[in-house]
Structure 1
Amino acid sequence: MTGPEPDGPGAPPERIDAPLVRAAFVLVLGTFMAILDTTIVSVGVPALSAEFGATPVEIQWVGTAYLLAVVTAVPASGWLVDRFGGRRTWIGAVLAFVAASALCGLAWSLPSLVAFRVLQGLAGGLLPPTGQAVLARLAGPRRIGRVISIVGVVPMLSPVLGPIAGGAILGVAAWPWLFYVNLPIGIAAALLALSLVPRGDAPARGASFDVRGALLLSPGLAVLVYGLTMVERGGVLPGVPIALVGVLLLVAFVRHGLRTTGTPLIDPRLVTRPPFGPAALTLAALGVALFGAVFLLPLYLQTAGGLDPWETGLLLAPQGAGALAGALLVNRLVDRLSPRLLVMTGIGLVALGTVAFTRLGQDPSDFVVAGSLLVRGVGGALIGAPVMALVYSTLAREVIPRAAGALNMLSTVGGSVGTALVAVVLQARLAALGPAGVAAAFGQAFWVVLAACLVALVAAVRLPPVRPGR
């Protein structure tokens, strides 16, 4: 026979068939449930505070405990996929998330709710990296870019849909339904996965668990994120030393990962394998930019703007619309244009859409805010798919689960760093400008978001101009 191999240079794009679409829909359903839960619950903080008679500082543990559990679980996702198989691990995580959600709704006190949120976070932290690993293996290198371009829009929709869904639930039901809403979604996703998601590769039952790495990496991430959340809430003095302890544990893990003769929980050498290093730095910097804005803008709209969660969600809706439009656009372009060009264009659009928010002190109109969010949504959608397609299409299949865990870990840490940075800048500017300068203080904090876009752009320049093997 003559002609190119199916995955070789010059080969036509492989068709995204119905079985792959169905599997992708199921996998993204679980991820959507976990990500949406975070923003839904944030809307219910006042109701939870009233229910348990807790102070704002105490009730914040409902969110903090979940986040700490997520970053603790993510590093183990690669080993779990290798050991038990991707589909089995994913279904187990979905069912565990459903069970933990039911327990959260049955919580009788704040400590019990926090404990159940930890369980929920441990399960929820496994869903995005495990789902990505399974999807990357099913799609293969020739289709992963187009598939990720569609399912990758889910994380961008949660900040928009979360406040709307949370406000709607609390408008007609009691606070436990903030958690019970996960039950039908999760059960349906698990049942559909049994019939629509292929089993994939056989588990590598001989793989050993990196105990020492787990004792360094997961606690290191949790301590780092905990320190950053303390900084975010104004506790700079205790927060910074705690975060530094987390950094030291992570440094110790890197040293262990480079020296171990076994398979580390996440291999630090991945960073030296192009294009993983530049891709990881791009996603981490974008995490700072995207999550920093997610923290600032709803807070500004509900404090300085006087909007309720429902109105805030509606004003943020153009970002979701932009993300959908961007996903459709990148689906057509990801296999035709340079991935570096797409990523740099996306970062440029995110930066352009941020400029108006640096001028909040001049009270931009709702039209300007909506238009800027639309541009940010389009830009964000142009970034994730090309980056992940580059990474997943150049790695061996057995490396993909651990690479997916590393990318999700860096994105989560980047988001935590971004939230802490903008919170510190916001607090400093609020103290300096006083009550009359609230809007201006928020605008000045958005300069951190623009700076993160610049760092992401510098990292993206190092991405290869074409996907290797094409």
Structure 2
Amino acid sequence: MSEKVVPPPAKVDAELLRIAFILVLGTFMATVDATIVSVGIDTLSAEFGASVTEIQWVSTAYLLAVVAAVPASGWLAGRFGGRRTWLAAVGVFLLGSALCALAWSATSLIVFRVIQGLGGGMLPATGQALLARIAGRERTGRVISVVSVVPLLSPVLGPLVGGSILGVSSWPWLFLVNLPIGAAAMLLARRYVPEVPPSPRRTAFDLRGAVLLSPGLAILVYGLTEVAHGRTLPAALGVTAGLAMLVAFTVHGLRTSRTPLVDPRLFTRPPFGAAALALLVLGASVFGTMFLLPLYFQTGRGLSAWEAGLLLAPQGLGAAAGSVLVNRTIDKVAPRTLVVSGIALIVVGTVPFTQLGHEPPDIVIAAALTVRGVGMAMIGAPVMNIVYSRIEPEHLPRASGALNLLNTVGGSLGTAVLAVVLQNRLSARDADVSWAFGDTFWWVLGFCLFAAAGATRLPRTQARKP
């Protein structure tokens, strides 16, 4: 009886890395743009003569549009092909960016941010599904470990890029900076990214599901945002209506004889359910922390946006180091081991922030952020590889859309919840800023522990390669 020979991992060649780089440009634009404008809120408020509350909708409108666009990305890619859908999404994003730079009022800017968000919302999911389809199951894990670091770097790079632009130029360049990047990505994609045919199964668009799911998520996030602002009636209406629409979508998804926009049954199938929970909480932890820390640095420590961005940079460095580690181990180590280890590192890196009332030195904050960055890189890529390596190629767009939806929703809901908690703790602490932020980070720690419980259900072994 001959001994079974285990083939070495498939090589990630230069051609595949080039394709990954091109597609990740779209993800980079979309995810950085979600935070790049945050440092320009005061500038935009002065430019258009709008209150901070009104101009905050420049960020909120983009976020709601992203949440609304993600669910449809899977159907569009399956219907028209991955590359064509990705190119169209880049085009919509660039159109929105150009219009934003030409905005003449706060209202027009908010409307144009919606257009920009609709394109940006489709880019990460469509790009990941297209890359996984091109790479094949044997190479998906290693290539995803490289590109998945971009969403982790973006919340760190956004404030730095935004602060740098406003330091040397006017506010329209917050949006015009996207044009050369997007144009280069489109030209390179048309030349080097291969066509991926649409799904052979042509399914009708789930219009009822789209009417319930996308607006339901957007209304729920809006309601939670209003809670953070202390506006009781809009908050109650938004949360109630949003939850009701999501319940109605779930019932529709379970009963319909057609293919739903996002299949609720997907989340009950192992390992998708545990993987989805891990990404949901990862989004809440990453974006929630990136909401809290810049605010703390600027209000609690009196740092400028640029200085706050520099102090956040170690998390990006940690994420880059973590992606290298994952790239070398993702085909050798069980997914559950990587993810649970990553969550443990995030927990360790979060503990110092629960003690902000004691004013920890910058070196402690930098070390904690580095550890968090490594941990975050050890979650996203393995979780996506678990799903992408166990699903049929024609189902990749919908699976990618569902995973990115959860990550986006996790970030949106996590940020909204933490904003409410922070406001409550500021009131309870009599505006003692440092202790209020420290109290809020206990909730971030709770998110991580909740994710760890779900991660224990992930597979112990790698998927079998065909």
Superposition pairs for residues 128-139 of structure 1, below 5 Å? 128-139=124-135
Answer whether contact 1:84 1:205 (CA < 8 A) is retained: no
Which residue of structure 2 aligns with residue 364 of structure 1? 360
Which residue of structure 1 aligns with residue 441 of structure 2? 446
Which residue of structure 2 aligns with residue 331 of structure 1? 327
In 1, Cα distance between equivalents of 2:247 and 2:395: 22
Deviations 1:381-403 (A, max 9, x none): 01111111001100111111111
Change beyond 3 A, Cα 1:352–1:236: farther
How far the C-alpha of 1:352 sits from its partner, in A, is 0.4
Deviations 1:249-305 (A, max 9, x none): 111111111111111111111112211011001111222222211111110000011
Superposition pairs for residues 424-463 of structure 1, below 5 Å? 424-435=420-431, 437-463=432-458
> Which structure 2 segments of 5+ residues have no match?
none
Answer whether contact 2:93 2:120 (CA < 8 A) is retained: yes
In 1, Cα distance between equivalents of 2:282 and 2:156: 18
How far the C-alpha of 1:3 sits from its partner, in A, is 10
How far the C-alpha of 1:236 sits from its partner, in A, is 4.7
Answer whether contact 2:346 2:372 (CA < 8 A) is retained: yes
Which residue of structure 2 aligns with residue 387 of structure 1? 383
How far the C-alpha of 1:237 sits from its partner, in A, is 4.9
Letter in 2 for 1:464: P
Change beyond 3 A, Cα 1:371–1:258: same
Deviations 1:351-399 (A, max 9, x none): 1000000000000000000000000000000111111100110011111
> Which structure 1 segments of 5+ residues have no match?
none
Letter in 1 for 2:447: A
**Which of the residues 302, 305, 320 maps onto 1:306?**
302
Answer whether contact 2:89 2:120 (CA < 8 A) is retained: yes
Which residue of structure 2 aligns with residue 467 of structure 1? 462
Deviations 1:181-200 (A, max 9, x none): 00000000000000111102
**Which of the residues 416, 427, 434 maps onto 2:412?**
416
Equivalent position SS for 1:169: helix
In 2, Cα distance between equivalents of 1:88 and 1:218: 22
% identical aligned pairs: 62
Structure 1 stretch displaced more, 236-245 or 224-233: 236-245
How far the C-alpha of 1:204 sits from its partner, in A, is 4.2
Q: Does 1:396 align with 2:396?
A: no
Letter in 2 for 1:224: L
Equivalent position SS for 1:209: coil
Letter in 1 for 2:457: R
Q: Does 1:221 align with 2:178?
A: no
**Which of the residues 151, 157, 163 maps onto 1:161?**
157
Q: Does 1:34 align with 2:30?
A: yes
Change beyond 3 A, Cα 1:171–1:3: farther
Q: What RMSD in Å do the two structures reach over aligned CA positions?
A: 1.5
Change beyond 3 A, Cα 1:294–1:55: same
Answer whether contact 2:156 2:290 (CA < 8 A) is retained: no
How far the C-alpha of 1:322 sits from its partner, in A, is 0.3
Structure 1 stretch displaced more, 136-145 or 332-341: 136-145
Change beyond 3 A, Cα 1:3–1:138: farther
Superposition pairs for residues 39-438 of structure 1, below 5 Å? 39-204=35-200, 206-435=202-431, 437-438=432-433
In 2, Cα distance between equivalents of 1:260 and 1:3: 49
In 2, Cα distance between equivalents of 1:423 and 1:212: 32
Answer whether contact 1:421 1:448 (CA < 8 A) is retained: no
Deviations 1:81-136 (A, max 9, x none): 01110000001110111111001000111111111111001110000100011011
Answer whether contact 2:323 2:377 (CA < 8 A) is retained: yes
In 1, Cα distance between equivalents of 2:48 and 2:207: 38
Equivalent position SS for 1:343: helix
Q: Aligned residues, how many?
A: 464
